[in-house]
């Protein structure tokens, strides 16, 4: 088993996002076969397989951000070329390599079993055991044109230079050494995590807590690193909240007829509500426009890409149903179900996670009436559907129990004024109240 | 606005209208009187050797690229698509000649015989130079754009002063022709008639800038003519045309004819380096169009047309390329960082007292850390 840690794919990057996996667990892969598309701060790049073998485990889901140095993939590597022993030819010829002079190009080393030489001569290139460490030992040069057998004698030398780091004392920068002294921590007892075995401040924190044998008091607070989707959401929401002037408007709507329609057929209530939103958005096209502050431009889209906010174990994602205006309620029901399922699996594509231009958030599933949602970055409106409640309501001149739901629209006040937002919301409400109205729209 | 271009003297600028080519895309051998005169010795086996060179160069490049993605190297400027330009030019030189290249000259490094284990250390950021320049007559990779052109001209001037018949070749890209260094080098080479070959691999992009942005749409081969330096514009994906052009330029230089400029018209199919994303500044369709002009495919077709059975040639190329890739991978994976005190090693050719003192201070400081932490 080999664990591949995410390398720094740019210069000085700290993390990267898994855009798409091209393999799954259990797949057999070749050396340098593309395994994944990974997005760094600089580019989307292909990750070629570092081993030939089988994928035992993928440590991250698509869309997840992985820290540089964190485990990414476990491989089952059949031909174990790790320094672990078992390489009988290695140990067998070890001594002879030191004692015997370099073999002539034609004859193998004297003490080497004949089959070892034959193996080298006959093995097809991809099957050959890697020349590995030998090429560096004693600064022996690697040269493209040299015949394999010539190098054979050098292969058996052990890799000695690795001993050097283990004999070195731990080192640390002066402030860290001072801190260690203050706390009475022996630097040599700390496990260094920095480059070249450097002890860092964080290592002292770990050492400090780990070495205390007495019962630790319960800390007043704990901190954990915010990573992955949570980190994305934090950045997106901060950016949206701080750069977009939000305003919101609410409406309580009698959705009894829409709910009856949902119960009588195969279209879900959310899909029917989406239809109402899409019909309204067609009448108020700027609700799907994007405001570009850098160029002072308003971008209008030919289609309505309806984003569905989905709460997953890993956090909130907005999955787009592209060109939703061309779908009927049954198609929308299926599309919403598909997006929700795949959002929870983490199998949405990057395009599906980024292409929406208006978002619907069904906060009613949490039992609340509403709230003021923060806009999905780049969009001008987000609709929150509250819980549907059975409550006393005026209906045809009498007070009766009706199914009522609060609909909230948050909007970008640079794009829309109250008039447009209210008009948009009133149109949504009108269709939800009287679904038959959709026939006329 | 239109720019009037003075009609170049045909003897001074060959290939301006259409880059010189002797191998067509389908492998047909085209005839060009200028180049053919220098290809008389190229038979099937010589062409097959050039093919093997290019396959090995490409494999080194793609392996190094993968190693960078796998965290074993830190950076790699790929040359994918430029194999013919480098192999043809490199094979036009004698071993006693000198090469002064940029950071993308992996083909030159391999064919000049650079130690691949040391070469890997450069791109792992463990070595400043890597190979011994005097062992293979090739200066260390130059990162400063175009600076190596001055080094090459300087070397050529010195060779001329010493009365030696060595030639210097300096390789750079299209962007470098806009740098002061290259222009100064052209002035000096022209003024002193230095035995130097300027090889400009016009791979169409200075990182993200298309060449037309800096050239006004005119061929780069026109520029040296303004310095009085003869120039050839060559299909850089045609290894035979590159070999012939290189031989013409080297012969001129060696026989006292002075500098020559070669614009190799080629294309960088990969990113500028492993930290660049070319999709941000160019179309995939453009790349595909250049894949059709692949320098290696073209030679395969040419060999087939000559009646060569390609199966054993391909098999041989694969064995050699795999071996090279494996050695390079092993070297990259197992390279060890240098000790910090090595920073003092190559500052001056001769040891200086001040530097020795600094080294001793450094070692004492390191030792003091060990003391203190006991």
User: What integer pLDDT is reported at residue A224 of this predicted model?
Assistant: 80
Q: Which residues on neighbouring strands pair with residue A71, listed in sequence order?
A: A5
Set of chain B residues whose Cβ sits within 8 Å of the Cβ of A130: 326, 329-330
B277, A136: Cβ pair inside 8 Å? no
Are A57 and A102 in a shared domain? no
Q: Domain count for chain B, please give it.
A: 2
Chain B contact probe: residue of A8, A13, A14, A32 with most B CBs at under 10 A: A32
User: What integer pLDDT is reported at residue B229 of this predicted model?
Assistant: 93
Are A53 and A28 contacting, i.e. CB atoms less than 8 angstroms apart? yes
Alpha-carbon distance of A375 to B313, in angstroms, equals 62
Are A148 and A33 in a shared domain? no
Are B332 and B350 in a shared domain? no
Does a structural domain hold residue A220?
no
Does a structural domain hold residue A244?
yes
B275, A46: Cβ pair inside 8 Å? no
Are B304 and B361 in a shared domain? no
Q: What tokens appear for A90 in the block?
A: 């290695």
Does a structural domain hold residue B190?
yes
Does a structural domain hold residue A26?
yes
Are A432 and A265 contacting, i.e. CB atoms less than 8 angstroms apart? no
User: Nearest CB to A135: which of B72, B276, B327?
Assistant: B327
Are A110 and A151 in a shared domain? yes
Does a structural domain hold residue A328?
yes
Boundary of a domain, candidates A209, A244, A277:
A209
Stretches where chain A sits below pLDDT 50 are: 82-165, 210-215
CA geometry: angle B285, B291, B295, nearest 5 deg: 155
Does a structural domain hold residue A224?
no
Question: Chain A closest CA to B8's CA: distance in Å?
Answer: 43
Alpha-carbon distance of A56 to B45, in angstroms, equals 47
A48, B271: Cβ pair inside 8 Å? no
Does a structural domain hold residue B7?
no
Q: What tokens appear for A67 in the block?
A: 């820290």
Residue B107: give its domain's CATH number.
3.40.50.970
User: What integer pLDDT is reported at residue A81 of this predicted model?
Assistant: 52
Residue of B nearest to A181 (CA): B373
Q: Which helix (H) or strand (E) holds B265?
A: strand B260-265
Are B66 and B142 in a shared domain? yes
Are B230 and B351 in a shared domain? no
Does a structural domain hold residue A82?
no
Question: Chain A closest CA to B150's CA: distance in Å?
Answer: 29
Chain A contact probe: residue of B58, B70, B131 with most A CBs at under 10 A: B70
Question: Chain B closest CA to A273's CA: distance in Å?
Answer: 39
User: What integer pLDDT is reported at residue B143 of this predicted model?
Assistant: 94
Strand, coil or helix: what is B131?
A: coil
Are B334 and B354 in a shared domain? no
Strand, coil or helix: what is A407?
A: strand
User: What integer pLDDT is reported at residue B332 of this predicted model?
Assistant: 95
Q: Which residue bears the tokens 């119960």?
A: A263
- In this structure, the strands spanning A15-21 and A34-39 are antiparallel
B277, A48: Cβ pair inside 8 Å? no
Set of chain B residues whose Cβ sits within 8 Å of the Cβ of A126: 322
What is the mean pLDDT, run by run of 10 residues, along chain B of 374 residues?
A: 40 70 95 93 96 98 96 95 98 97 97 94 90 94 96 98 97 97 97 97 95 86 91 96 97 95 96 91 93 96 96 96 96 91 86 91 87 67
B75, A45: Cβ pair inside 8 Å? no
Q: Domain count for chain A, please give it.
A: 4
Are A299 and A412 in a shared domain? yes
B69, A9: Cβ pair inside 8 Å? yes
Alpha-carbon distance of A19 to B279, in angstroms, equals 16
Are B299 and B50 contacting, i.e. CB atoms less than 8 angstroms apart? yes
Are A246 and A145 in a shared domain? no
Does a structural domain hold residue A65?
yes
Are B46 and B127 in a shared domain? yes
Are A421 and A286 in a shared domain? yes
Alpha-carbon distance of B189 to B154, in angstroms, equals 8
Positions of B annotated as catalytic residues are 268, 272, 281
Nearest to B321 by CA among B64, B45, B42, B23: B64
Strand, coil or helix: what is B156?
A: helix
Could you report the predicted ipTM of this complex, rounded to two decimals?
0.75
B275, A11: Cβ pair inside 8 Å? yes
Does a structural domain hold residue B60?
yes
Are A267 and A309 in a shared domain? yes
User: What integer pLDDT is reported at residue A274 of this predicted model?
Assistant: 95
Which residues form the domain of B58? 13-338
The size of the A-B interface in CB pairs under 8 A is 116
Which residues form the domain of A281? 229-440
Separation of first and last alpha carbons in chain A = 62
Are B356 and B309 in a shared domain? no
CA geometry: angle B337, B338, B342, nearest 5 deg: 165
Are A200 and A261 in a shared domain? no
Are A190 and A238 in a shared domain? no
């Amino acid at each position: 088993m080999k664990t591949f840690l995410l390398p720094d794919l740019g210069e000085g990057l700290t993390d990267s996002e898994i855009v798409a996996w091209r393999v799954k667990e259990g797949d057999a892969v070749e050396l340098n076969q593309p395994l994944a598309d990974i997005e760094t701060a600089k580019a989307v790049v292909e990750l070629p397989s570092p081993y030939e073998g089988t994928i035992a485990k993928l440590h991250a889901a698509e869309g997840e951000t992985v820290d540089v140095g964190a485990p990414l993939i476990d491989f089952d590597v059949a031909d174990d070329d790790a320094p672990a022993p078992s390489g009988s030819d290695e140990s067998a010829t070890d001594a002879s390599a030191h004692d015997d002079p370099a073999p002539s190009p034609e004859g193998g080393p004297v003490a080497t079993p004949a089959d070892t030489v034959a193996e080298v001569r006959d093995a097809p290139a991809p099957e050959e055991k890697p020349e590995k460490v030998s090429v560096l030992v004693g600064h022996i040069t690697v040269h493209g044109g040299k015949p394999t057998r010539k190098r054979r004698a050098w292969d058996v030398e052990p890799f000695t230079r690795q001993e050097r780091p283990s004999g070195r004392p731990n080192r640390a920068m002066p402030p860290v050494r001072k801190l260690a002294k203050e706390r009475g921590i022996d630097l040599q007892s700390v496990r260094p995590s920095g480059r070249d075995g450097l002890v860092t401040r964080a290592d002292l924190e770990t050492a400090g807590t780990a070495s205390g044998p007495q019962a630790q008091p319960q800390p007043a607070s704990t901190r954990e690193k915010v990573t992955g989707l949570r980190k994305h959401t934090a950045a997106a929401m901060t950016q949206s909240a701080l750069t977009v002037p939000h305003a919101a408007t609410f409406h309580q709507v009698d959705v009894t007829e829409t709910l009856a329609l949902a119960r009588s057929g195969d279209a879900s209530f959310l899909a029917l509500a989406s239809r109402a939103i899409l019909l309204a958005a067609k009448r108020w096209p700027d609700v799907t426009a994007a405001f570009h502050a850098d160029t002072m431009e308003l971008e209008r889209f030919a289609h309505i890409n309806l984003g569905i906010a989905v709460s997953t174990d890993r956090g909130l994602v907005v999955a787009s149903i592209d060109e939703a205006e061309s779908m009927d309620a049954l198609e929308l029901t299926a599309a919403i179900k598909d997006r929700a399922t795949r959002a929870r699996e983490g199998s949405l594509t990057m395009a599906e996670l980024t292409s929406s231009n208006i978002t619907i958030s069904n906060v009613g599933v949490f039992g609340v009436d509403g709230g003021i949602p923060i806009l999905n970055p780049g969009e001008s409106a987000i609709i929150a559907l509250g819980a549907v409640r059975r409550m006393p309501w005026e209906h045809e001149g009498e007070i009766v129990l009706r199914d009522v739901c609060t609909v909230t629209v948050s909007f970008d006040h640079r794009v829309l004024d109250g008039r447009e937002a209210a008009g948009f919301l009133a149109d949504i409400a009108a269709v939800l109240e009287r679904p038959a109205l959709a026939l006329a729209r | 606005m239109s720019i009037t271009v003075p009609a170049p003297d045909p003897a001074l600028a060959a290939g301006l209208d259409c880059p010189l080519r002797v191998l067509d895309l389908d492998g047909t051998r085209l005839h060009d009187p200028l180049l053919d005169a220098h290809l008389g010795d190229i038979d099937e086996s010589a062409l097959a050797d050039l093919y093997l060179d290019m396959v090995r160069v490409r494999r080194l490049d793609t392996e190094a690229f993968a190693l960078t993605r796998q965290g074993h190297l830190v950076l790699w400027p790929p040359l994918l698509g430029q194999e013919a330009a480098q192999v043809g030019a490199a094979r036009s030189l004698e071993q006693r000649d000198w090469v002064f290249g940029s950071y993308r000259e992996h083909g030159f490094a391999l064919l000049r015989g650079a130690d691949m284990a040391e070469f890997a250390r450069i791109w792992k950021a463990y070595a400043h130079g890597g190979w011994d320049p005097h062992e293979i007559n090739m200066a260390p990779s130059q990162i400063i754009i175009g600076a190596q052109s001055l080094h090459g001209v300087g070397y050529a001037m010195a060779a001329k002063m010493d009365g030696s018949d060595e030639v210097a070749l300096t390789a750079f890209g299209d962007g470098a022709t806009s740098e002061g260094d290259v222009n100064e080098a052209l002035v000096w080479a022209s003024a002193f008639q230095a035995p130097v070959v300027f090889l400009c691999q016009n791979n169409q992009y200075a990182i993200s800038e298309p060449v037309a942005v800096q050239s006004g749409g005119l061929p780069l081969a026109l520029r040296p003519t303004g310095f009085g330096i003869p120039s050839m514009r060559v299909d850089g994906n045609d290894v035979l045309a590159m070999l012939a052009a290189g031989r013409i330029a080297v012969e001129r230089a060696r026989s006292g004819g002075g500098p020559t400029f070669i614009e190799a018209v080629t294309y960088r199919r990969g990113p500028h380096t492993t930290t660049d994303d070319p999709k941000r500044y160019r179309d995939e369709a453009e790349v595909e169009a250049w894949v059709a002009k692949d320098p290696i495919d073209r030679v395969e077709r040419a060999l087939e047309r000559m009646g060569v059975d390609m199966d054993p040639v391909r098999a041989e190329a694969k064995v050699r390329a795999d071996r090279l890739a494996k050695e390079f991978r092993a070297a990259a994976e197992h390279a060890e960082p240098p000790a910090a005190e090595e920073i003092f090693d190559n500052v001056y050719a001769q040891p200086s007292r001040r530097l020795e003192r600094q080294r001793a201070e450094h070692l004492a400081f390191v030792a003091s850390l060990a003391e203190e932490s006991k």
